[in-house]
Chains A and B, each alone.
Chain A
Amino acid sequence: MFDIVLTGLNHTTAPISLREKLAFTKEESAEAIECLKNDPAVDEVMLFSTCNRVEVLMTAKNGVEALNTAKQYISKAKDTPLTDFEPHLYTYHGHKAVRHMFRVASGLDSMVMGEPQILGQIKEAYRITVKRRASGVVLNRLFHRTFHVAKRVRTETGIGDSAVSISYAAIELAKKIFGSLDGRKVLLVGAGEMAELAVEHLIRNRVGDIFVANRTFERGMELARRFSGQALRFEEIPSALETVDIIISSTGATQVVIGKDMVKPVIKNRRNRSLFFIDIAVPRDIDPDINKLSNCYVYDIDDLKGVIDGNMENRMKEAVKADRIIDESVIRFGRWLEGLNVVPTIVDLKEKMGAMARMELDKTLSSSLKHLPEKDAMALSRMMDALVNKVLHDPIQYLKLKSSHRDEAASLSFVRQLFNLDDGDNA
C-alpha cells in the first residue's frame, strides 16, 4: 500500500514575500527532485515552482513521513525555518492530491482563471522529473492523465476562451467589427504600457501599417521605430483618420484629443468604412459622442473592463463544467490505482501462505519426520504446495472477479484484514 501526497503553497495561501523566498529555479528544482528521490521515505517525487506557487507531489509507503521529509528539505534548501512557512502550506492525500493536480494544470487554481501557461510549466517540471528518473508507475500515469484532463478542460469548456486583459479585450472587439485584422491600419496616439501592448497584439494579428502620433515628435519616432511604423505630427491626426481603421489613444491630455467634429467629415471620404476607437486614457481622449456616428465605435477603459468582467463571469461558469470533467477523471484514476492493489494483494497472500506452509514443513521434516527419505520429503513438499494453492484458489478468484470499484476496495481491504496481510505495517 502506498500513499499519494501533495504539499505546497500558492498566491492565495502565501504572500509574495514568502513565495519569493521559496521559489525554486529549474536547477534547484532538479536538485530537490534528485535529493528527495534518494531519501528512503520517498518513492516517486515531482516538484514544480512558479512565481505563484511551489508544489511537491510524492508517492510513499508512509505519506506523513514523506511530507515531513519534503518540508525539511525545503526549509534547508531555502534557508527558511519551517515555522515560517508551514502554516501557509496546504496538504492533500490520495484522491484529493490527484484532484488538486488536475485543477492546477487546467488553470482552475491560477490567479487568472483559465490561464494557459501553467500547463507548460508543469510539463517542463515533469520533464525534469523523468530525466532524473524520479517518477515511477504511479506518477507517470498521473501526469499523463493530468495533461489529458487539462487538454479536455481546455477544449470542452470555454474556460480559456475570452479575453481577460485590456489589450486582449480590445483585440477581441476589433475582430468582431472587422473580422480579420489582416492589413487593417492602426493609429497610436500617445504612449503607455497598455496601449503599446495592444499595438503589439495587433501586430501579432497581422495588421497593416502602424502610425504613431505623439505630442513629442521624438517620442513618436521612437515608438514608430519599435513598431516599424511611421511617426506623425499631432496635427496630422485628422487626415490620418481617413486611412486608419483602429485608433488606440492613451495621452495624458486633460481634454479630448479627437472630437466628433474631427471624425464626421472623414466618414464620407472613408466610404463609410468602420472606425474603431480604443480610449485607454483617463481623462478620456476620445469624444464619447463619436460612438453615436454610423459605423464608428468607441470603447473607453470602463467599457473594456466591462468586457473583461463579462468574460470572467463566463470563465466562472465554465469552471463548473471543468470541475465536473476533473471529478470524473479523478474517479477513473482512482479505479486504476485500485487495480494496482489486487495483484500485490494476491502476491502477498501467496507469499504469506507459502511461507507458513514451508515453515511448518521444515519444522516437521527436521524433527518428527527426520528419518523420511528424500523422495518422500519431496512428495510431502509437493502436497503442501498443492494444498496451499487449493486453499487460496477461492479467495484469489474472489479478488479477481470484482465487478465494481467500490466492491473491489472493500473486498481488498477485507481480505487483507482477514489474512492479516498488513501485520507489521501501519496501514
Chain B
Amino acid sequence: MNGFPSMAALCYVLSTVLYGVYLFRQKDVLQKAGFILAASGFGIHTLDILFDFFRLGYLPLVNLRNTFGIASWSIALVFILFRLKTKIKVMGIYAAPLVTLVYIASLNLPDISRETSGVFKSSWLVLHVIMAFIGEAALAMACGAGILYLIQEHAIKSKKRGFFYSRLPSLEQLDAAGYTSIVVGFTVFTVGLIVGLVYAKMVWHRFADWDPKEIWTGISWLVYAALVHERIAAGWRGRRAAIMAIAAFALLLFSFLGVNMWIGGHHGGFVQWKM
C-alpha cells in the first residue's frame, strides 16, 4: 500500500476547510489555496489510480469502493476545469466537500474482489465508466450552479440581501455556468452510454438487458435531453433551468446509486459494499 490515498484525502480535506473559511472571510488567498490543494489532491489521486492500474494490469471497477474512488476523481477533475473556465471561485464550497466525502467514503469501504470474467477488464469498459462519470460530474456541477443560482435569486428578489448576496457572483454568471455544465455533461455522458451499449453488444450480444439501473439511467438521460433541448431551443433559463438541473441530478443519483443498492441487476456489483 502506498501513501497516496491518505495524502490525497488530506489535500481534499484541507481544500474543503479552506473553502469553508473563504465563504465566511472572503479573503482571496483562501480560495486560491483551496484550489491549489484540490488540484494537488487530484494529482495524487490520479497517481494512485495509475499505480493500481499498472500493478493490476487493468483498472479495478468492481465494487462500491472503486466506484466512489473514480466518482470523486471525476468530480475533482470537472471541478478544476469548471473553476478555470467559469472563474466562479465560490463553487469550491460545493465541490470540495462533495469530492472529500465521496473519496473518504471510498477509502472506508471494503475492497471486495469479484469473479471477473475479463469482461470487466476491457478498455471499452474503462472508457464507458470514465466518460459516464465525467459526464455525471459535470451534471453535478450544473446542479451546484443551480443551487447557487436559487440562493442568489432569493437574495435579490426578497430584497433581504443576507449572507450570500455579496459572496456569490451574478445570476447571469451562474446561469451561464449551469448552461455550459449541462451541455458538456450531457454530451460526455451520452458518449459514455453509447460506448457502454456498444461494448455490451460486443460482449453479451445485446445492447442492454434493461436491468433497473439501465432503465432509470435511460429515464434520466431522457430528462436531461429534454432539459438541454429546452435550454437551447425554447430559451429556458434562470430559475426554471436551475430547478430542473437540481431535480434531474437527484434523479441521476438515484439511477447511479439507489437503484442497484436497493434493487439489483448486473450493475449491482459496482455498488457492492457488503460481503
Contact = CB atoms under 8 A, between A and B. Distances in A.
Contacts, number: 49
B239 to A, nearest CB: 5
A274 B171 contact: yes
Interface stretch (A294-302, A341-349, A366-374, A419-427): A294-302
Contact of A179 (B161, B170, B238): B170
Given A176-B170, A177-B172, A272 B159 contact: no
A45 to B, nearest CB: 42
A178 interface: yes
Contacts of A274: 171-172, 238
A265 to B, nearest CB: 15
Interface string B146-167: 0000001000110101000100
Contacts of A173: 156
Interface in B228-275: 234-240
A36 B236 CA distance: 71
B180 interface: no
Interface string A273-307: 11000000000000000010011010100010011
A176 B157 contact: no
Contact of B170 (A178, A273, A295): A178
Contact of B165 (A176, A178, A179): A176
B159 A299 contact: yes
B173 interface: yes
Nearest to B162: A310
A133 interface: no
A271 B161 contact: no
A295 B157 CA distance: 9
A175 interface: yes
A295 B242 CA distance: 12
B236 A306 contact: no
A271 B232 CA distance: 10
Given A272-B235, A272-B236, A295-B238, A307 B170 contact: no
Interface in B41-82: none
A274 B240 CA distance: 12
Contacts of B156: 173, 176-177, 297
B169 A307 contact: no
Minimum-distance CB pairs A-B, first 6 = A271-B235, A179-B170, A179-B172, A295-B238, A179-B173, A272-B237
Interface of A: 173, 175-180, 270-274, 291, 294-295, 297, 299, 303, 306-307, 310
Given A178-B172, A271-B235, A310-B161, 20 more contacts: A173-B156, A176-B156, A177-B156, A178-B170, A179-B171, A179-B173, A179-B176, A270-B235, A273-B235, A274-B171, A274-B238, A291-B157, A294-B238, A294-B240, A295-B238, A295-B239, A297-B156, A299-B159, A303-B159, A306-B159
Interface of B: 152, 156-157, 159, 161, 165, 169-173, 176, 234-240
